[in-house]
């Protein structure tokens, strides 16, 4: 992973993951997007001080989001009230590592889901992301329950094939239970 990545490719690869990472802490989509964008701006301003290694860049970006959340928490009384309403407490580094791991799992799953045919992708998302039952999906999409079950089996088969088998059960559990 130590190849130099273009700015556009870097942004495309990590922006959504950084947004999700930030959203886990602030629970506000707009603030999360701002924090992710600010992390990239900070990286572009300080790139000469960061190794060209992609792992170092990724670490810089996640750290920038993490510290931006800390700064938000400390700067504004309005933001402080927001944190209190959502019972947020500053987490330790282990919590952040778990959030990063969860973010990476979710990214892998969503990337794999996006490779499924549209119908199968929609059914898998409605079932495992949105939490709809087979009956609710069948009713909304006006399909038979057997079709829903078949599409879910196909989707799970693709997930098992594309994701590393030794991690599939862990990733699937994270996907199902949104730990």
Predicted TM-score (pTM) above 0.85: no
What is the pLDDT confidence band of residue 103, given thresholds at 50, 70 and 90? confident
CA atoms within 13 A on the CB side of 26: 27
pLDDT, residue 77, reads 54
Mean pLDDT for all residues in the chain: 80
Q: What angle (nearest 5°) sits at the alpha carbon of residue 64, between those of residues 58 and 101? A: 50
Lowest pLDDT segment from 31-35, 101-105, 155-159, 163-167: 163-167
**Section 113-134 average pLDDT:** 86
Judged against a pLDDT cut of 70, whether residue 13 lies above it is answered with: yes
The fold of the 91-179 domain, in CATH, is Arc Repressor Mutant, subunit A (1.10.10)
Mean pLDDT score, 81-98: 64
The number of C-alpha atoms within 13 Å of 78 and in the hemisphere containing its C-beta is: 0
Q: How far is 120 from 114, CA to CA, in rounded Å?
A: 10
* Per-residue confidence band for 78, with pLDDT thresholds at 50, 70 and 90: low
User: Is the pLDDT score of 107 beyond 50?
Assistant: yes
Asked which of 52-61, 137-146, 156-165, 169-178 is least confident by mean pLDDT, the reply is 169-178
SS3 content of the chain, % helix, strand, coil (to 5): 80, 0, 20
- pLDDT beyond 70 at 64: yes
Any idea where the domains of the chain sit in the sequence? 1-90, 91-179
Name the band, by pLDDT with cuts 50, 70 and 90, for residue 179.
very low
DSSP at 87: T
Q: Which is more confident, 164 or 118?
A: 118
Residue with tokens 């997007």: 33
* Spatial distance between the Cα atoms of 80 and 32, rounded to a whole number of angstroms: 16
Quick check: 155 pLDDT over 90? no
């Amino acid at each position: 992973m130590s190849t130099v990545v273009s700015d556009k490719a870097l942004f495309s690869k990590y922006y959504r993951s950084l947004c999700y990472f930030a959203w886990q802490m602030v629970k506000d989509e707009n603030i999360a997007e701002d924090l992710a964008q600010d992390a990239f701006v900070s990286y572009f301003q300080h790139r000469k001080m960061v190794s060209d290694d992609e792992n170092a860049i990724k670490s810089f970006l996640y750290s920038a989001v993490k510290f931006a959340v800390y700064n938000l928490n400390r700067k504004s009384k309005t933001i402080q009230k927001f944190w209190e309403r959502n019972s947020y407490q500053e987490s330790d580094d282990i919590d952040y590592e778990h959030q990063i791991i969860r973010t990476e799992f979710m990214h892998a799953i969503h990337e794999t889901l996006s490779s499924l045919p549209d119908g199968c992708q929609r059914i898998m998302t409605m079932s495992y992301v949105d939490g709809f039952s087979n009956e609710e999906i069948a009713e909304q999409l006006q399909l038979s329950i057997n079709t829903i079950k078949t599409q879910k089996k196909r989707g799970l088969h693709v997930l098992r094939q594309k994701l590393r088998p030794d991690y599939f059960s862990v990733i699937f559990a994270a996907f199902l239970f949104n730990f």
